[in-house]
Amino acid sequence: MSDASAPVVHQHAAPSKFIWKYVFSTDHKVIGKQYYGLALVSVFIGMMLSWLMRFHLVWTNAAIPGLQLLSKNGAPGGVMTPEYYLSLLTMHGTLMVFFVLTNAPFAGFGNYFLPIQIGAEDMAFPRFNMMSFWVTLVGFLVLIAAFFIPDGPPISGWTAYAPLSAVGKDAGPGLAWGQNLWAISIGLFCVGQLLGSLNFIATTLDLRTKGMTLSRLPISTWAWFITSCIGLLAFAVLLPACVLLILDRVAGTSFFIPAGLVISDHLQPHSGGSPLLWQHLFWFFGHPEVYIAIVPAIGIVSHILMASMRKPLLSVKVVYGSMITIGFLSYMVWGHHMFLSGMNPFSALVFSFPTLIITIPATIITMIWIGSIYGANLRFHTPSLFSLGFISVFVAGGVSGFFLAQPSLDIYLHGTYFVVGHFHFVMGVAAIFGILAGSYFWFPKMTGRMMNDTWGKVHFWFTFIGVYCIFMPFHYLGFAGNVRRYSSFVDDYLQPLLPVHKFITIAALITGAAQFIFLFNLIYSRFKGAPASDNPWDATSLEWSTTSPPPFDNFGGRHMVVRHGPNEYGVNGAHGDFIMQDSPEPEPAGD
Amino acid sequence: MSSTALQPGQGSQSPAPALSGIWVAVAAITMSFAAFTSSLIIRQASDDWRHLVLPGILYLNTVIILASSVTLEVARKRISDLAAMRSWLYFTLGLGVAFLAGQAFAWHQLRAQGLYLASSPNSSFFYLLTALHALHVIGGLMGLAYTIRRATSVAVWRVATIEATAVYWHFLAALWVYLLLVLRTRL
């Protein structure tokens, strides 16, 4: 497969000491696994927080055994206070959006596979890469520390709207040091992501092996590259926002806090700041963040689907173009999160238009997927099931976006569970399905062992049916006027909706429990799974041309030479109906 | 940036990532300062905005940082003459340090007028933007020091290092001129 005449590129030995090999490693594969591990820890913490919240919503006065140990003030006797509900809401959102949906599909899989897929030995800046993970890890620890300080986690939500997030302890629990920790954590996270994005871009531009032209990049690499461009500009705006927020909180400046603000009978010593400014800065990051989570998942799912369908997508280039268009438009739509903010109503119209436009490339990608699957001889293994599940939830969540893009409808729906259902489907669950598809697909390459496919399918069906049982009723609740962010539903008009909430809570408990099947499968298969061949899926990209798991330098000293595109499926190749990218065989006739 | 790039033969046959990395970093830093500028424009619209008169030394600092860009270019042109290149790089480094000292003196002058970080929105932005720019200049000085240290390395690597450092340093000079205009002008 390799070019024997090419020079051996690997000149530095693999570290032998544990600390340099597995902890402070500059190897992109170890860093990818570290990001993935951090996302795994975060997702289970975030999921358990959602269990606690769902339990409290329907059994408001019931004690949750042991919760008082987590927070004496927030849950006296194990019964959650309304404020502590908001604290858990903040932590759930922050963990999930930043440390799961950004870390796993982009930083995790991207770090592991981008260099291999382009035939490189490592990232362009390996030490920056290591730094990016460790800064992110410190950010995670700083965030989690908020659970263990007397003040507790902040109550301002993952969006940390000012002035609530900016004024300090007068405004409620968690808004003294809890909010400081949040802002520092997210600031650190931004630094980590900027370093990561820089690495991804420079690596893709400069370290491609011989023959790996841009048009021969696998679609997953395209997705990570586009995401790193989006992330570079988005996190570069959130970081200044965090700096301004921290200064307002600790240095007495007035960037976000208006004059004459009285909280808890205490006139705040600030003047002239603009709470709306925080929202603009935050959502300028916040909307592209949706695509930072979803574009890698689009790439991963497209990559897996082609290997499962045994044929290329109808038009891969149109998918590339659509992803780039989505990335570009993602910077023009942030105002649709602010229709209710008091922003000029004419601005709402301006933001509504590109919001509707951005659905076009997303729809094109979906149509290409569905059109490509039609008539394909699909291999139904766990990765392909999760890829199909991704398409389903992406469409289910995307359709409700049409409603919310229109200011007149959004004004009614924005403060309700409709929005919660929308973003959980289209961003949260869809990206999670992409992560799970990628996990089952690339686990053999990362560990040299297969995950159990039967348990994978059991996991899929519990998860797929479960997420619909949880999030589809949210839309109904929203139409019925069920407000979000409330910790209990004591108003008369909300009482009839409680049975729906009970159904959702039970579904959430079962679906959450099903994730332990995945966790068990992951851990068990790591040690006891069936040995994986180098290319168990008959796939074409370069990661399948090396051993499972790959050696320290990725290709065992071989200098890879690429001769084919990444989507050579359904052809007469030497080894079956595919041709690997580095295969010396000629292009098939008529191709 | 170049300190962490793969060495030639370590995976990449050319040191191009250093230059690409610098350009990407420049894009990110530009975006951050664009965000600060947007914030400043919005903040200027409020009633409590009092435009402050900037300390005169800032104009001298501007001349110094622009001069440092020129000396760095001279060093780049003398890349084949190691001793001369190093001298000009040291000169650039000295001008960079002088620029930072001048900025510190400007902060001292403002403090003497009773203007601190939280005194007014304008002073907030002044301290914030100049401090953040100074932090980036410190990064640039480290880059210059690294370039001086790498001056004796193989030619291809020496060229890549000085080119990457030059892009970053010229960007910092341009960024300073931009910030001075933004702070000086009511937008």
Cα separations (Å) of A60 from A53, A469, A494? 10, 21, 14
- From the list B187, B180, B186, the residue with the least C-alpha distance to B57 is B180
Mean pLDDT on A54-76: 94
> What's A23-257+271-578's CATH class?
mainly alpha
Structure tokens, B15: 């040191």
**pLDDT per position as a tens digit, A362-393:** 999 999 999 999 989 999 999 999 999 999 99
Q: Residue A307: how many CB atoms within 10 A of its CB?
A: 23
The answer for A 191-210 residues in CB contact with B (under 8 A) is 194, 197-199, 201-203, 205-207
What residue in B sits closest to A191 (Cα-Cα)?
B28
User: What integer pLDDT is reported at residue A21 of this predicted model?
Assistant: 85
- pLDDT above 70 covers a percentage of chain A that reads 97
- CA of A57 vs chain B CAs: smallest distance (Å): 39
Q: Give the per-residue pLDDT at B11.
A: 41
Cα distance from A273 to chain B (closest Cα, Å)? 7
Closest-CA distance of chain B to residue A84, Å: 32
Say if A128 is an interface residue toward chain B (CB within 8 Å). yes
Confidence band of B47 (pLDDT split at 50, 70, 90) = confident
CA-to-CA dists, residue B126 to A133, B103, B110, B129, angstroms: 33, 11, 10, 6
To probe the interface with A, which of B7, B12, B36 has the most A CB atoms within 10 Å? B12
pLDDT for residue A522 is more than 50: yes
By the 8 A CB rule, do A57 and A488 touch? yes
Which pLDDT score is estimated for A192?
98
CA–CA separation, A424 and A415 (whole Å): 15
Mean pLDDT, residues A518-546 taken together: 97
CB < 8 Å to A3, chain B: none
Instruction: Please indicate whether, in this complex, the C-beta atoms of B20 and A206 are within 8 angstroms of each other.
Output: yes
Q: What is the mean pLDDT of chain A?
A: 94
Average pLDDT in the A344-354 region?
89
What per-residue confidence (pLDDT) applies to A12? 63
pLDDT-derived band at A589 (thresholds 50, 70, 90) equals low
3-state secondary structure of A320: helix
pTM for this predicted structure: 0.94
Which of B11, B34, B42 lies nearest to residue A274, judging by beta carbons? B42
Per the CB < 8 A criterion, the answer to whether A158 and A254 are in contact is: no
Label residue A78 left, alpha or beta by phi (over 0 means left) and psi (-120 to 50 means alpha): left
Indicate which of A206, A210, A270, A274 best probes the interface with B, i.e. most B CBs within 10 Å of its own CB: A206
d(CA B157, nearest CA chain A) in Å:
15
Record the tokens describing residue A559, joined without a space: 């200098």
A284 neighbourhood in chain B, CB within 8 Å:
35
Please give the pLDDT value at position B154: 75
What ipTM does this complex have?
Answer: 0.92
Least confident range of A7-11, A102-106, B149-153: A7-11
Domain boundaries, chain A: 23-257+271-578
Average pLDDT over residues B93-110: 97
Least CB–CB distance from B28: residue in A9, A194, A243: A194
> In 3D, which of A543, A393, A533, A378 has the Cα closest to residue A474?
A393
Distinct helix (H) and strand (E) counts, chain B: 5, 0
**DSSP output for B25-40:** HHHHHHHHHHHHHHHH
What residues in A contact B3, CB-CB < 8 Å? Answer: 127
Q: Range with the lowest mean pLDDT among A235-244, B125-134, B151-160? A: B151-160
Q: Chain A 273-332, CB below 8 Å of chain B: which residues?
A: 273-274, 276-277, 280-281, 284
| Dihedral sign for Cα atoms in the order A140, A430, A361, A335 | negative
Is the Cβ pair B124, A255 closer than 8 Å?
A: yes
The hierarchical CATH code for the domain B55-187 is 1.20.120.80
CA dist A384 → A304, A378, A511 (Å): 7, 8, 20
Are residues A272 and B4, on separate chains, in Cβ contact within 8 Å? no
- Residues A53, A68: Cα–Cα separation, whole Å: 14
- H or E element that contains A571: strand A569-573
| B139 in contact with chain A, both atoms CB, cutoff 8 A | no
Mean pLDDT, rounded, for A425-443: 97
Cα A297–chain centre separation: 8
pLDDT at A10 over 60: no
Cβ separation A271–B48 shorter than 8 A:
yes
- Give yes or no for A239 touching B (CB within 8 A): yes
**Nearest 5 degrees, angle CA A75-CA A136-CA B36?**
95
Q: How many Cβ atoms are within 10 Å of A262's Cβ, its own excluded? A: 9
Beta carbons within 8 Å of A308's beta carbon, 6+ residues apart: A378, A379, A381, A383, A384, A387, A537
Size of interface A-B (CB pairs under 8 A): 132
CB-based contact, B49 to chain A, within 8 Å: yes
pLDDT tens, position by position, A455-466: 999 999 999 999
Residue in B9, B16, B27 closest to A206 by CB: B16
Contact criterion met (CB < 8 Å) for B124 and A254: yes
**Residue of chain A nearest B117, judged by CA positions:** A253
* pLDDT score recorded for residue B12: 42
Using the Cβ of B8 and the Cβ atoms of chain A, whether some distance falls under 8 Å is answered with: no
* Chain A residues whose beta carbon lies within 8 Å of the beta carbon of residue B27: 232-233
Judged by a CB distance cut-off of 8 A, whether residue A532 touches chain B is no
Reply yes or no on whether the pLDDT at B18 is more than 80: yes
In the chain, the amino acid numbered A382 is: T
Interface test with B, best of A227, A255, A338 (most B CBs within 10 A): A255
Please indicate if any CB of chain A lies within 8 Å of the CB of B131: no
Of B4, B9, B43, the CB nearest to A128: B4
A341 touches chain B (CB under 8 A): no
Cβ–Cβ of B17/A9 closer than 8 Å?
no
Write the CB contacts of A536 (distance below 8 Å, at least 6 apart in sequence). Answer: A444, A450, A548
pLDDT of B6 reads 41
Interface check for A342 against chain B (CB to CB < 8 A): the answer is no
Q: What is the 3-state secondary structure (H, E, C) of A82-120?
A: HHHHHHHHHHHHHHHHHHHHHHHHHHHHHHHHHHHHCCC
The predicted structure's pLDDT at residue B15 = 58
Q: 10 Å Cβ neighbour count for A152?
A: 28
Identity at A119, one-letter amino acid code: G
With tokens 């024997």, the residue in question is A4
pLDDT of A256 higher than 60: yes
pLDDT for res B21: 95
pLDDT exceeds cutoff 70 at A590: no
Cross-chain Cβ contact B20/A124 below 8 Å? yes
Dig out the tokens for A286 from the structure: 């916040």
Residue A11 confidence (pLDDT):
53
The confidence score (pLDDT) of residue A271 equals 87
Cα distance from A314 to chain B (closest Cα, Å)?
33
